[in-house]
Amino acid sequence: KRLTDPDHKVGKFISSFAETYPLGSQQYIKNTRAKIRAILASTADQGIRNIVIGAIGTGAFGNPQTIVAQAYKEVLFDEGFASLFDNIVFVQFGNVSPVFESALQ
């Protein structure tokens, strides 16, 4: 099947993780969680059950992997967003990040 087939729903969004707050500050962490919630909620609201998440927090753009992975874990599992999806795939450049892998298992 192709993504252009009529039975596929494709959500598109752009999210910038560029912050004016110091990396690792409470405000940075709060904003990171809010962005993750917005991405997941807007996707789920469209009825999309399979999501591919770009390289946000996987180290490609210099965001602290440990903080971003923990934020994804909290939003996906502690807040229950994971139950809204059948498949969640993280795009990552290079080798699998052990930080993300351990946080999300």
Task: Sketch out the chain's domains with CATH numbers.
Answer: 26-103 (3.40.220.10)
Count how many residues are written for the chain.
105
Name the pLDDT band for 74 (thresholds 50, 70, 90): very high
Q: Which of 20-34, 36-50, 70-84 has the lowest mean pLDDT?
A: 20-34
pLDDT digits (tens, 9 = 90+) for 39-53: 999 999 989 999 888
Angle at 51 between CA 89 and CA 80, to 5 degrees: 90
Percent of the chain with pLDDT over 90: 31
State in Å, rounded, how far the first CA of the chain is from the last one.
Answer: 29
**Cα separation, 62 vs 18, whole angstroms:** 10
pLDDT digits (tens, 9 = 90+) for 80-99: 999 999 999 887 776 667 87
Question: Mean pLDDT, the chain, as a whole number?
Answer: 79
DSSP 75: I
Residue 88: beta bridge partners?
Answer: 51
